[in-house]
Amino acid sequence: MTIDPILELQHISKVYAGVPVLKDVSFACQRGQVHALVGENGAGKSTLMKIVAGAVQPNGGTITFKGETFSHLNTRLALDKGISIIYQELALIPHMTVAENIFLGREQRTSLGFTRQKLMMDEAAALLQRLGVQIDPRTPAGELTVARQQMVEIAKSLSRNADLIIMDEPSAILAGQELEQLFQIIETLTQAGVTIIYISHRLDEVFQIAKNVTVLKDGELVGTAPIEQLNRARLVEMMVGRSLDEVFPKSKHAIGDPVLVAENLSTQTLKQASFTLHAGEIVGVAGMVGSGRTELARAIFGADALQTGHITLKGVPFAPRGPQQAIENGVTLVPEDRKQQGLFTGLSIRHNITLPILKRLTRWGMVDRKAENDVIARAKSDLSINMASPELEAQFLSGGNQQKVVLAKWLQILPSVIILDEPTRGIDVGAKFEIYQLMRQLNEKGVAILMISSELVEVLGMSDRILVMQDGRIVGELAGEQVSEQAVITLATTHREGMSA
Ligand SMILES: Nc1ncnc2c1ncn2[C@@H]1O[C@H](COP(=O)(O)OP(=O)(O)OP(=O)(O)O)[C@@H](O)[C@H]1O
Ligand SMILES: [Mg+2]
């Protein structure tokens, strides 16, 4: 159904060095709406948008923009027609002022007495004000945070009267409040009739702001649909090309004995939390931001002092005085920020995987190279870690592959309990699938997993049981038939008697 398409792509194809990266892609965007473009890494999203912006030439197909059809665009022409693109790597010139950046290459000239500087400053200030951001146009761009630089980029698009603004993963560099501000700006823009094409790997955002969504997979169009006809599960399915049962591998084995029993745990924020983890199961922890999920993990991990309660690990009292002791006793935490704590980014992949088991690999004081290589070979095939060489420093791996290396390490050590905090944040759907499989491999070897995740689809798909938290308490536990998106949301948000507001 086309109401008022501003942009129509017909049969676009692109070949790089003999390899087709876009195959016969067609879809339309409606005027004044946010249109999301999603797909796994390498699906062709950026390439397609560079074609629309005239930065890359297609090998076939046409672009119809505001009723005019083009077989090729160039950047100049695209800009003139009102198409603007904001790349992930922002392109402002750091030592020039915000205003100079906005009007770069189009400095105002006037025959009257006004200095063009003054005109530029005023106009830049007006544009920024229209976006509702407080940035002094005289500031050198390099002094702004990346979030603010992004806003300047948007102002720049506006100054060119763009009526289509393409944003390629704008949220990848933003957090919390900055993201809210971006969404507000997008709202302002669409109300003024501007169309936004929004590329993101974060599906929550897509559901929050997009009206329509187009999915690409391996250079081909999977489909375009109004967002209200989709749910997350269906969207993930479209992106990965697998049914959800396959995306979320179920455990193939019986759940074992209790491994960790927590009773009545309270810390500064946690209130009387009790639960049990069994060998070989995944227990998901759901709840809103601030509900106490991370605190629950920290309490078990020995990072926060307990005010009340106690823990037993395999029947023995467990009271770690800190993370180091927790790890020595077989309780591990894989933090959200892998770069900070999960991985030695300056060390090779080989060392990240084998360091913790070096003792096992050492004979007569020498590292047994063959044994070490076997471990690496196994990790590589087990995990399909896409690595040029195990000698590569871990920092050069993509986020998904870094997480796989972290899990590979624990697969060698086999702790009793692994706490995963947001295990797949920032990771594309294909790599997610592999991480899920790794989690199940850990389960099969008897490891109990406590998984904290803000992605409800993941919690629902992977957990054998779900603990729902609110205001520092575990307010419910769901398993089997009881598990549903609605049940989790209801538990997480319903106000409970006796709870502080
Ligand atoms: N200049 C280029 N030369 C050769 N191949 C390229 C070039 N640019 C992109 N490709 C290839 O085209 C395919 C699509 O890449 P593209 O960057 O469009 O994907 P994407 O969907 O934006 O991925 P991501 O989510 O990782 O940003 C990839 O296989 C990529 O390696
Ligand atoms: Mg891209």
Which residue lies with its CA nearest to atom 13 of ligand 1? 42
Which domains can be identified in the chain, with CATH numbers?
5-245 (3.40.50.300), 255-493 (3.40.50.300)
The reply to whether ligand 1 has any atom less than 6 angstroms from the CB of 44 is yes
For 295-346, the DSSP string reads HHHHHHTTSS--SEEEEEETTEEE--SSHHHHHHTTEEEE-S-IIIII--TT
The total of other beta-carbon atoms located within 10 Å of residue 374's CB is: 12
Banded pLDDT at 165 (limits 50, 70, 90): very high
Which residues make up the environment of ion ligand 2, defined by Cβ < 5 Å?
46
Closest CA to 415 of 295, 321, 330, 307: 330
Residue 497 has pLDDT above 60, yes or no: no
Distance in angstroms (rounded) separating the CA atoms of residues 342 and 398 = 14
State the ligand closest to the CA atom of 239.
1
Bridge partners for 260 per DSSP = 277, 313
Which residue lies with its CA nearest to atom 3 of ligand 1? 16
- pLDDT at position 66, please? 96
Which residue lies with its CA nearest to atom 16 of ligand 1? 44
Q: How far is the CA of 45 from the centre of ligand 2 (A)?
A: 6
- Residue 451 to residues 50, 250, 346, Cα–Cα distance (Å): 38, 15, 27
- pLDDT at position 500, please? 43
Banded pLDDT at 109 (limits 50, 70, 90): low
- pLDDT at position 339, please? 59
- pLDDT at position 401, please? 79
- The 10s digit of each residue's pLDDT in 312-363 is 999 999 999 888 889 889 999 888 766 555 677 788 888 888 877 777 777 7
- The 10s digit of each residue's pLDDT in 369-423 is 888 888 888 777 766 666 667 788 877 777 777 888 888 888 878 899 999 998 9
φ and ψ at 347, to 5 degrees? -95, 160
The total of other beta-carbon atoms located within 10 Å of residue 411's CB is: 20
The reply to whether ligand 1 has any atom less than 6 angstroms from the CB of 5 is no
Q: How far is the CA of 11 from the centre of ligand 2 (A)?
A: 20
Banded pLDDT at 89 (limits 50, 70, 90): confident
- List b or e across 215-242, with b for residues whose CB sees 16 or more CB atoms inside 10 angstroms: bbbebbbbebeebeebebbebbbbbbbe
- pLDDT at position 498, please? 47
Per-residue pLDDT, averaged over 247-252, amounts to: 78
- pLDDT at position 107, please? 66
Residue 255 has pLDDT above 70, yes or no: yes
Residue 250 has pLDDT above 90, yes or no: no
**Dihedral sign, Cα of residue 250, residue 251, residue 254, residue 258:** negative
Using the atom order of ligand 1, give the atom closest to the CA of residue 39: 21
| More confident position, 34 or 91 | 34
Length of the chain: 501
Mean pLDDT of the chain: 87
Among 12, 16, 200, which is best to mutate for testing ligand 1, by the most ligand atoms less than 8 A from CB? 16
- The 10s digit of each residue's pLDDT in 274-314 is 999 999 999 999 988 888 999 999 999 988 999 999 999 99
Which residue lies with its CA nearest to atom 9 of ligand 1? 47
- What angle do helix axes 146-159 and 116-130 make, rounded to 10 degrees? 110
State the ligand closest to the CA atom of 45.
1
The reply to whether ligand 1 has any atom less than 6 angstroms from the CB of 46 is yes
- pLDDT at position 114, please? 55
The reply to whether ligand 1 has any atom less than 6 angstroms from the CB of 402 is no
Which residue lies with its CA nearest to atom 4 of ligand 1? 16
